[in-house]
Amino acid sequence: MEVLIRDTADEVSLLGSQIVAQLLRRKPRCVLGLATGRTPLRLYGELIRLHQTEKLNFSQVVTFNLDEYVGLPPDHPQSYHHYMRENLFRHVNIPLESTHIPDGYSADLRHHCKEYEQAIINAGGIDLQLLGIGSNGHIGFNEPTGSLRSRTWIKILSEKTLRDNASNFSNPDEQPRHVVTMGIGTILEARHCVVLACGSQKSNAVKEMIEGPVSSMCPASALQLHPRVTVIVDTPAAARLDHPEHYRWIEQHKLDWQKYP
């Protein structure tokens, strides 16, 4: 795991967007795994800016989102379909047919999950998977004690996650308890995973992910088994790490070709 510590959340987002943009320029036909939530908003904003000012080209990109709520129609303001449309897709030149988000409104969810896995394979696999982390260590919506080899499936949200996201729903009765999410096994097959975490509320989860044992109690710790993970955190999210000076040392001694822009 490569751990990059930055002073502010803005710097985290900027570096994350530079890594994505670098891939798009090198491989215009890449497959991106996308995340939702508060964390990637500024990264998407920066990608939109690069599209508008530097013509960053999304015309050949294929995307797969991590997850979606079960039971919310795609035009529901809290659905991740709506989120992606409003925060990225409608601002860049990506053909909507190249974008994929699990369909939590499908009449046959189990079949849909299998189709989603197959669609990722058919696209050639994910080149870069963006990830946030939940305060309980979830990635996607893979909650503690779920299998570290899981595939895209229907999952039940933990009470902690429901509490963390409750403020997004003005009517608490509308907050779904179920989701469709890529599994940990699915995520681990991406060629490069880029995890962003900002704020002190993530500091425990960040410590467990990087320095804790690999354990289903912190699903993100499974990323320790992945050959190429870049974790970008701001100072508050890094506050509980035992070895920040080690991560800084490693970053300072990278070879030129290992450095990000």
Supply the residues annotated as catalytic. 67, 136, 138, 143
Residue count of the chain: 261
Residue ranges of E strands in 31-174: 31-34, 62-65, 67-69, 99-100, 128-131, 153-156
Which helix (H) or strand (E) covers residue 193, if one does? strand 192-197
Q: Three-class SS of residue 68?
A: strand
Could you count the other beta carbons within 10 Å of the beta carbon of residue 166?
Answer: 10
The secondary structure of the chain in percent helix, strand, coil, rounded to multiples of 5, reads 40, 20, 40
Binding-site residue total for ligand PGA (CB under 6 A)? 6
134 part of the interface to ligand PGA, by CB under 6 A: yes
- Shortest distance in whole angstroms from residue 182 CB to ligand PGA: 12
- Minimum separation from the CB atom of position 218 to ligand PGA (A): 13
**Residues of this chain, 37-66, that bind ligand PGA according to CB under 6 A:** 37-39
Least Å distance, CB 131 to ligand PGA, is 7
Which region, judged by CB under 6 A, interacts with ligand PGA, from 31-39, 85-93, 180-188, 225-233? 31-39
Please give the residue whose beta carbon sits closest to ligand PGA in the complex.
Answer: 37
Q: Give whichever of 57 and 215 is closer to ligand PGA, judged by the CB atom.
A: 215
At its nearest, how many Å lie between ligand PGA and the CB of residue 141? 8
Does residue 133 belong to the site contacting ligand PGA (CB under 6 A)?
A: yes
Stretches 11-19, 36-44, 116-124, 226-234: which one binds ligand PGA (CB under 6 A)?
36-44
Q: Does 132 bind ligand PGA (CB under 6 A)?
A: yes
Six-digit token pair at 104? 């939590």
The span from the CA of 8 to the CA of 196, in Å, is: 12
Of the pair 22, 168, the CB lying nearest ligand PGA is at 168
As measured in angstroms, the least distance from the Cβ of 76 to ligand PGA is 17
**How far is residue 103's CA from residue 198's CA, in Å, rounded to a whole number?**
28
Give every strand in the sheet of 128-131, ordered side by side: 2-6, 229-234, 192-197, 128-131, 31-34, 62-65, 99-100
Window of 10-18, 50-58, 126-134, 179-187 that interacts with ligand PGA by CB under 6 A: 126-134
Half-sphere exposure of 156 (CA within 13 A, CB side): 3
Applying CB under 6 A, the residues found at the interface with ligand PGA are: 37-39, 132-134
